[in-house]
Structure 1
């Protein structure tokens, strides 16, 4: 066999191996991207659910406080309008 044919076979073999590796690498990358998209979708859904639960809980506390105000009782739980934190007044709870 000629030395030229050895060079041609080497180049063809190298290009075939490179193409196969690129195909494998692209499949792995696509699989990884799909997994990342799925995780992101799950996190976004959990964030929406958590926000909904937080809003519902704050609404329940506001309603409860309105009932207590109308009934003349003390407010044990207050809501800070700036950051939405619920503050439990333990001193008022211990007094009653």
Structure 2
């Protein structure tokens, strides 16, 4: 065989080997970068979720602190109905919950909205005692739902 052909074949073999090694190296590098991006996205997502849960529990802590400092639900004298301190709820408790409503769990969110609608709408009730009793019951459900969130956390 001619020496020129040997040089050409050697050059082609060297090129093919270089392309193969380069391709394998690039594929390995892309795999590592993809894994790093996935890990980074997962870490960011976990940090965001942890911050949101932390903020949610700050709202719950403020709610439970106020609930512990003031009695919102009292028994009536005849003990047929419960009495709910609607004015205090509107002045103190509602401002704790409404600004961070988007942070609350779905169950707590629904109960807050339900209590909020009852607080401002007395058109469906002929008897105010019944209206206040329903608000007291919803408030009790709200406290239990928030306490359930703490149980789920642990």
TM-score by length of 2: 0.43
Per-residue CA deviations over 1:29-59 (Å, capped at 9, x if unaligned) read: 1111111111111111101110111001111
Give unpaired runs (5+ residues) of structure 2.
Answer: 72-154
Partner of 2:119: none
Aligned-pair CA distance for 1:70: 2.5
Partner of 1:53: 53
State the structure with bigger RCO (CA 8 A, min sep 6), 1 or 2.
Answer: 2
TM-score by length of 1: 0.66
Aligned-pair CA distance for 1:14: 0.4
Partner of 2:64: 64
Count of aligned residue pairs for this structure pair: 71
Partner of 2:76: none
- How many angstroms apart in 2 are the aligned matches of 1:62 and 1:11? 76
Partner of 2:20: 20
The root-mean-square deviation of aligned C-alpha atoms, in Å, is 1.3
Give unpaired runs (5+ residues) of structure 1.
Answer: 72-96
Which secondary structure does the structure 2 equivalent of 1:55 belong to? helix
Aligned-pair CA distance for 1:66: 1.7
Aligned-pair CA distance for 1:25: 1.1
Aligned-pair CA distance for 1:63: 1.2
Partner of 2:129: none
